[in-house]
Amino acid sequence: MEHPMEYSMKRAATKWSGVVLACALAACQPATDPKAEAAAQAAAQEQAADEMAKAFEAQYDKQNWQLARAHGDVLAAKYPASAAFGRIEARYNEVKEKAAQAREQSRTAALWTYQTQPLKKGEQVSASIYAKGYVDTDGSGPRPVQLIFRDHPDWGTSSYLVLEKGDFDCYGGCKVKLKVDDAAPKPVAASRPKTDEAIAMFIEDEKMLWKTVKSAKVIAIEFPVKAGGARTAVFEVGGLDPSKMPAKWGR
């Protein structure tokens, strides 16, 4: 039987041999080079940035401003100091503006509604838009105001405002004030038809109003109401698609 002292000495020798071997193995490993590691990391980041820049450039060439902006945003956030970002930075600034314009155009285009209704003698075609904010026309609270351009086979062309509540004070004719973008308001002839079928008021020169709307971003129409005084409806008209109306309206 092995003496306890001999057993302890053998265990100690074995453990020490393991430590020596581990140290020897560690000594055989190549020393880490911080500069090489940093260079490798920088190269990997530059490659990733270059891939993002190429994705940006592909969408830029297609004039897909929204996607180009998205790729540019990621590149600017993750690798702003990269050579790849420096290569596309000027175009990225250009794209940010174009993307904002595209978003605004999409938003204002969605404000318009176009309808075609078959009739016995042809079809009625209309383009309509609601005012930016509700208007209190009779003291009962703010409600929608709508501007409509209509082409009817029997009644011809017309433009008119429609109220949900209240009424216009324009029976027999009146003047409304039309303000276009930043220009000063100007008087425009209007009239309220003698009918209860709809609370509507015609803007008499519909071709003038249509031409105005085609080139404007925002118009405001101030009109008299039966409740007293005048009210103003503001319309963001910049997204109009003139091709939705018959060619005689002018495109």
* pLDDT tens figures, 14-44: 443 444 444 444 444 555 677 878 777 878 8
Write phi, then psi, for 193 (nearest 5 degrees): -65, 150
Task: Return the bridge partners of 115, or none.
Answer: 126
Question: What single-letter DSSP state applies at residue 173?
Answer: -
In whole angstroms, give the CA distance from residue 100 to residue 70: 12
pTM (two decimals):
0.76
pLDDT of residue 31: 58
CA-wise closest residue to 72 among 104, 96, 45: 96
* pLDDT tens figures, 55-88: 999 999 999 999 999 999 999 999 999 999 999 9
Express the helix, strand and coil content of the chain in percent, nearest 5 each: 45, 30, 30
* pLDDT tens figures, 124-182: 999 999 999 999 999 999 999 999 999 999 999 999 999 999 999 999 899 999 999 99
